[in-house]
Structure 1
Amino acid sequence: MKRTRTRATTCLAGTVAALAALLAAVPVAAAGHDGRVVTVAHRGASHAAPENTLAAVDLARSLGIAWVENDVQRTRDGTLVVLHDPTLARTTDVEQKFPGRAPWKVGDFTWKEISALDAGAWKGPRWRGQRVPSLAQYLDRVERTGRNLVLEVKQPQDHPGLAADIVRTLRDLGWLDRAHVARRLLVQSFDAGSIRTVHRLRPDVRTAFLGTPAVADLPAYARFTDQINSLHTTLSPGYWAAVHALTGPHGRRLEAYAWTVDDPARAVTLARWGADGIITNRPDLVAAALRRAGYPG
């Protein structure tokens, strides 16, 4: 009797081990999402075109990428503009045009001054003459090219009230109707306060927190944000399982995007772990790799 029980126990342990191995071989994404992984063109198609310009939106369209991401700040005189860095130095010729205005912070310049800068020459002669777009100009181009938008509230510590200004502009320009809110818009930020503001002002808008909060803190984020979008090197299948186990403010499973992923093989690995989206400077290569691996956009 004792010998029989030992054999049964050994057999059961072997079965459990085999089942664990089988489950490990199944892509985690099968439990994380429906197999569709969104490719988002980071700052537009920014590997080839100058980031956050209308040209980057146009290039994303020509590559067949449905979603573009941008960054929004505010000028000294209150115009919302599409720029990533807190200063204008890296992506414009501001140092040549305004040599005595260091450190060239975005909020120290008027819209007229910024709109006169060249925001393309740094990327190469082909792009000379590209301008920093206002948010209104950018939204118009996204609309006319049929793209969708991941809009980032950038540097809110330098621009008090920025999130509310963005919501107001989106409303005034027709981006908060049912069609845009349901399928074409996501607002994200590293600043939880900005995301809370967007959610308070427009609870129907989908939002994303940029970062990798502790697993214990995720339920608190799930009360006001629909996505946890994280630096890809901070992630693991277990972390995304914890994200996907929660329900967001719109009654749907919390989602997770990874950024900034330019290696197609890494993008496929993240999809297998459960990524709902990949934010990338190389959307053409990443989207193609995901399709080949069975993760259409």
Structure 2
Amino acid sequence: MAVWSELAESCGFWIGAHRGGMALGPENTLETAMLGFQCGAHFWELDVQLSADGVPVVIHDKTLQRTTDAPTVYPKRRPWYVWDFTRAELESLGACSRRAFSGNPAPGRTPVKTSPLLFSKDSVLNALLGKTALNAPNPASRPGAFQNVSERKVSAVCRIPTLREALDMTRRLEWLVNVEIKGKAEHRDRLVQETLALITELDMVPRVLVSSFHLDVLYRVRSLHDQVKIGVLVKEAVSDPVQLVRDVKAYALHPARRHLRREAVRRCREAGIPVITWTVNDSAEARRLQGWGVSAVISDRPQELIGEKQSKEDAPSW
């Protein structure tokens, strides 16, 4: 059973599935996360917000326009803010892949075809609850069992999961998850409380890392729970990353790759602070960061970074 403390203790190098693995299917869905798990990702990253009726749901954007069919289902409810929809309404929507992995890539980027999915949300949950069997190799045999994920077919429309469902799936897989707190500013205190309550109820404290760009959120997390691990997300270069992490009583630093410097990684590692950077989609770049001493990278393409034979047990050391 994996726990987050192993990241600092092992001095290993982990690959995280960004929103479940965005090149594998619709982001922040259980189906895509399952594929990220099966290809060998050490953990997955998700985003959480509150629905109109106060339920933590897994979605990144503040609106539903990019990643769901809300404009079609609810054409008169523009601009489709997440917090204006109830849990039931959100669950009625279909999730879709609209990230630009095909068509015209950014300069220097190779277009990547989004892979079709194998499992529906119901089939994943039913299998994990022991109600049915997945028509696929046992996830315990990963990685390698799903090297040809692009050949798999989706059996139903993917939908927005609740945080409870995402944590429950992660727990049953004995996996790890990084939960990023997002959402409307005035909702964040309640979101923090609801998130921590779920983590505690499902006995997931050792396997959840809570992160945010908002320091007030992180201070609130720590004031309410002294054991859950915290990650400090930063978009820009930080003059003293070690002090920042210590001020928040956090576990890890989560810097954007474009602003990460080798000296900052060295200082964090000397202080025993794991560095988890985002978003890294190139294998050569991942190896370079591993050489710097980065503890983990979060990737849209975990299946490419992990390779055919690497597993959680034989992940390389830096």
Shorter-chain TM-score: what band? 0.7 to 0.9
Distance 1:58 1:34, change over 3 A: closer
Map of 1:3 onto structure 2: none
How far apart are 1:174 and its partner, in Å?
Answer: 2.5
Compare the two structures and name the one with the higher helix fraction. Answer: 1
Map of 2:105 onto structure 1: none
Letter of the structure 2 residue corresponding to residue 113 of structure 1: E
Map of 1:186 onto structure 2: 209
SS in 2 for 1:215: coil
Map of 1:295 onto structure 2: 316
- Judge conservation of contact 2:13–2:290 (CA < 8 Å) in 1: yes
Map of 2:187 onto structure 1: 159
How far apart are 1:49 and its partner, in Å?
Answer: 1.5
Q: 1:227 aligns with which of 243, 252, 273?
A: 252
- Judge conservation of contact 1:44–1:51 (CA < 8 Å) in 2: yes
Map of 2:101 onto structure 1: none
Bigger relative contact order, structure 1 or 2 (CA pairs below 8 A, ≥6 apart): 2
How far apart are 1:216 and its partner, in Å?
Answer: 3.3
Q: 1:64 aligns with which of 22, 40, 60?
A: 40
- Judge conservation of contact 1:58–1:145 (CA < 8 Å) in 2: no
Structure whose alpha-carbon radius of gyration is higher: 1
Distance 1:150 1:259, change over 3 A: same
- Judge conservation of contact 1:121–1:129 (CA < 8 Å) in 2: no
CA distance in 1, matches of 2:160, 2:57: 7
Letter of the structure 1 residue corresponding to residue 229 of structure 2: R
Map of 1:262 onto structure 2: 281
How far apart are 1:34 and its partner, in Å?
Answer: 5.5
- Judge conservation of contact 1:208–1:228 (CA < 8 Å) in 2: yes
- The equivalences for 1:162-181 within 5 A come to 162-176=191-205, 181=206
Map of 1:5 onto structure 2: none
- Judge conservation of contact 2:18–2:299 (CA < 8 Å) in 1: yes
User: Is 2:67 the partner of 1:91?
Assistant: yes
- Judge conservation of contact 1:39–1:283 (CA < 8 Å) in 2: yes
- Judge conservation of contact 1:52–1:70 (CA < 8 Å) in 2: yes
How far apart are 1:61 and its partner, in Å?
Answer: 2.2
Q: 1:38 aligns with which of 1, 6, 14?
A: 14
Distance 1:34 1:112, change over 3 A: closer
- Judge conservation of contact 2:28–2:47 (CA < 8 Å) in 1: yes
Letter of the structure 2 residue corresponding to residue 210 of structure 1: L
CA distance in 1, matches of 2:21, 2:288: 22
4+ long deviations beyond 4 Å = 32-35, 121-128, 289-294
Structure 1: runs of 5+ lacking an equivalent: 1-31, 247-252
Identity rate of aligned residues, in percent? 28
CA distance in 1, matches of 2:11, 2:177: 21
How far apart are 1:220 and its partner, in Å?
Answer: 3.8
Distance 1:261 1:239, change over 3 A: same
Letter of the structure 1 residue corresponding to residue 276 of structure 2: Y
SS in 2 for 1:222: helix
Letter of the structure 1 residue corresponding to residue 261 of structure 2: S
Distance 1:295 1:89, change over 3 A: same
- Judge conservation of contact 1:151–1:186 (CA < 8 Å) in 2: yes
Map of 1:207 onto structure 2: 230
- Judge conservation of contact 2:63–2:81 (CA < 8 Å) in 1: yes
Letter of the structure 1 residue corresponding to residue 260 of structure 2: L
Letter of the structure 2 residue corresponding to residue 272 of structure 1: G
Count of residues paired in the alignment: 254
How far apart are 1:83 and its partner, in Å?
Answer: 0.3
- Judge conservation of contact 2:171–2:204 (CA < 8 Å) in 1: no
Map of 1:147 onto structure 2: 175
Q: Which moved more, 1:202-211 or 1:140-149?
A: 140-149
Alpha-carbon displacement from aligned partner over 1:99-146 (angstroms, at most 9, x marks no partner) = 111110100111111010011475669545111001111112112222
Letter of the structure 1 residue corresponding to residue 43 of structure 2: W
- The equivalences for 1:85-124 within 5 A come to 85-120=61-96
CA distance in 1, matches of 2:257, 2:9: 18
CA distance in 2, matches of 1:168, 1:202: 10
Map of 1:216 onto structure 2: 240
Distance 1:296 1:45, change over 3 A: farther
SS in 2 for 1:147: coil
Q: Which moved more, 1:223-232 or 1:67-76?
A: 223-232
CA distance in 2, matches of 1:69, 1:160: 18
Letter of the structure 1 residue corresponding to residue 169 of structure 2: R
CA distance in 1, matches of 2:211, 2:307: 25
CA distance in 1, matches of 2:309, 2:266: 20
